[in-house]
Amino acid sequence: MTAAQPAVVAGAAATPRLRDTGALVFLAELSRALAVSLDLHQTLTQAITRVRDFLEVEGIALFLLDAASQVLECRVSAGPIDVTGMRLAVGQGVVGQTLAQDCTQIVAQAQDDPRLWRGSDEASGFITRSLVCAPLRTAAGPIGVIEIVNRRDGVPFSAADAELLELVAAPAALAINNARLAGELLEQQRLKRELDLARHLQKSLLPRRRRDGFPVLGVNRPAHEMSGDFYDYFELPGGDIGFVIGDIAGKGLDAALLMMRAASLLRWIGKEHPAPALWLARANEELCESAREGRFVCAVVGYCDRAATRVRFANAGFPPVLVLHGGQYRQYLADGPPLGIVREVGFDEHEVALDGGALYAFSDGATDVRGSDGRPIGLAGLRALIERHAQATPKARLRSLLGELRRLHLVDDTTFLLIEAAQAERPELLFTRSLPARAESMRGLRAELRAVFDQQAIEPRLRDELVLAVDEACTNVIRHGYGPDCEGPLTVRATRCAATLTLEIVDEAPAVDPASLRPGTLGECRCGGLGIALIDRIMDDWRIEPAADGRGNRLVLHKHIDSWAGEEAADA
């Protein structure tokens, strides 16, 4: 620890105090007290008082360097004048020079020494006659200075005093440094815990994956702890699905916090179901009011129907939206600037017939990925990746895409939103029966259907409603499809796909005009009107179309079965 020799300024005779019998015992005790200290400030305060008395000096002070400001501040002191809180620049006065030179300074006769900073004495009336300063050394350089002032016996300080002070400085430096490292570690752990919490909260904002043939799918891979990207989707009354994908300019905690705000803002506006362009315009006004300088939000918002046949969307500064249909790409560039920059901007919107195609929206992290040549893969590279996995199911495709991007080296948060008609998880056939289209057939059919629905754990009330819906559908075929003078076959089929029950009623009667089948008004009992009204109330949706071979009609009814959805979730 004696890297630098004490700079002996005045030739005072070295007193052999170090060899006093008590000296080693004292140092050993001091070292131990500092080493096991739990409260460093308190330990140091007690220690310097003991050092002061042991060294028989009038005053003692310990200065610590603030690395950021390069200012030395007195943290503890003992003596006639309390100098705690005194601040000195590195190089200022003897204390400052001790640190700057990382070298013990002895001032035997203070009155004559130009190095002395006299501000303190002038303010306090104390007279500094003689002093010694020793640096508090660590492997990373000096972290402070310990100073003693005026021997009580009036003798100027000597090299022996300096040596003794250096011996005291060593364990003090060690203890302070250890405490600092421990504090930093604690702080790091605390920060990490908070980041983990924030990341958790952020993840919890992303919607849960839906399993029941839901057409919107999203994935988000943050490049760091927190993501500036987000996506969202939600069902609206009437069956449409609202979706959002967004990206906050910048990274880090404040981008992540703005992301949370933008995500909830866009969700709440979307739930009111405004046109996509208006949706963006409203979010823009709100974000312009509150977003900090230089922070903005890029987003695509829109709606699709559950079968993903049509999509309406608008794009604020987000990368182009890709629609892949029949092997052809269509590309939709941003319809306006990012949100939160200029007020009162308008956005255009698009309505696209998806019809079995797929819509991809993705944050720029997906195209900024570096290819093997070290350059971003760009839109062309991403298209090639998408095509390579086009045959996979939507879920598997997104997983593969992210996997490939990660192998290529993700440099930014990466988020995908995919809209595509859910590929049929193979529907499970629950029931099929062909029977003559006669009113007398119905009772037996109803009994069979009840048994099937019971077996599928559909609760009795819903079971009876579903049976009624099938009965009404069949009755309509019997009465109006074939008519009183004609009889033909009728096929009833029930299938289950995830949590959706599909009921099909196929006949060979003359084609029905779907427009003629409308639910009757209440109390109206024109032919078939009430039956259709009942079907309409019981089922989530229904449609009639020409049967597959062009002869007859196919009526398709759908119902989401909540208890099945519960089973699906339990499987997940």
Partner 1 sequence: MSAMANAVTRERSDGAILVRLRGEVDLSWSQQVRRAVLDAFDAGLAVGIDLADVAYIDSSGIAALVEGLQQGRARGQRFALVAPSAAVRAVLELARLDRVFDIVDTPAALGGTG
Residues in contact with partner 1 by the rule CB under 8 A: 439-440, 442-443, 446-447, 450, 461, 464-465, 468, 471-472, 475, 478-479, 522-523, 525, 530-531, 533-534, 537-538
- The string of DSSP letters for 477-507 reads IIIIII-TT---EEEEEEEEETTEEEEEEEE
How far apart are alpha carbons 431 and 440 in whole angstroms? 20
Min dist CB 546 to partner 1, Å, is 25
Min dist CB 486 to partner 1, Å, is 15
Which is nearer to partner 1, 450 or 560 (by Cβ)? 450
Query: What does R_g of the chain's alpha carbons equal in angstroms?
Result: 40
Residue 122: count other Cβ atoms within 10 Å of its Cβ. Answer: 9
Which is nearer to partner 1, 402 or 534 (by Cβ)? 534
- Residue 56: exposure state from Cβ atoms within 10 A (0-12, 13-18, ≥19): middle
How far apart are alpha carbons 279 and 273 in whole angstroms? 8
Min dist CB 539 to partner 1, Å, is 12
Q: Copy the structure tokens of residue 450.
A: 């009840």
Strands (E), 90-215: 105-107, 131-138, 141-151
Min dist CB 531 to partner 1, Å, is 4
For residue 295, which phi and psi values (nearest 5 degrees)? -110, 130
Which is nearer to partner 1, 400 or 475 (by Cβ)? 475
Q: In 3-state terms, the chain is what percent helix, strand and coil (to 5)?
A: 40, 25, 35
How far apart are alpha carbons 535 and 183 in whole angstroms? 69
Question: Whose CA is closest to 314, among 361, 382, 354, 353?
Answer: 361
Min dist CB 559 to partner 1, Å, is 14
How far apart are alpha carbons 2 and 103 in whole angstroms? 9
For residue 308, which phi and psi values (nearest 5 degrees)? 55, 45
Min dist CB 429 to partner 1, Å, is 24
How far apart are alpha carbons 95 and 356 in whole angstroms? 79
Min dist CB 518 to partner 1, Å, is 14
Min dist CB 537 to partner 1, Å, is 6
How far apart are alpha carbons 37 and 179 in whole angstroms? 9
The residue type found at 290 is S
Which is nearer to partner 1, 84 or 456 (by Cβ)? 456
Which is nearer to partner 1, 208 or 461 (by Cβ)? 461
Which is nearer to partner 1, 48 or 561 (by Cβ)? 561
Min dist CB 224 to partner 1, Å, is 55
Which is nearer to partner 1, 42 or 516 (by Cβ)? 516
- CB distance 307 to 260 below 8 Å: no
Which is nearer to partner 1, 151 or 559 (by Cβ)? 559
Residue 465: count other Cβ atoms within 10 Å of its Cβ. Answer: 18
Which is nearer to partner 1, 233 or 542 (by Cβ)? 542
How far apart are alpha carbons 122 and 93 in whole angstroms? 14
Min dist CB 443 to partner 1, Å, is 6
Q: Copy the structure tokens of residue 462.
A: 């819903």
All residues at 6 or more sequence positions from 55 whose CB lies less than 8 Å from its CB, including other chains: 17, 148, 161, 164, 165, 168
Which is nearer to partner 1, 440 or 549 (by Cβ)? 440
Which is nearer to partner 1, 468 or 497 (by Cβ)? 468
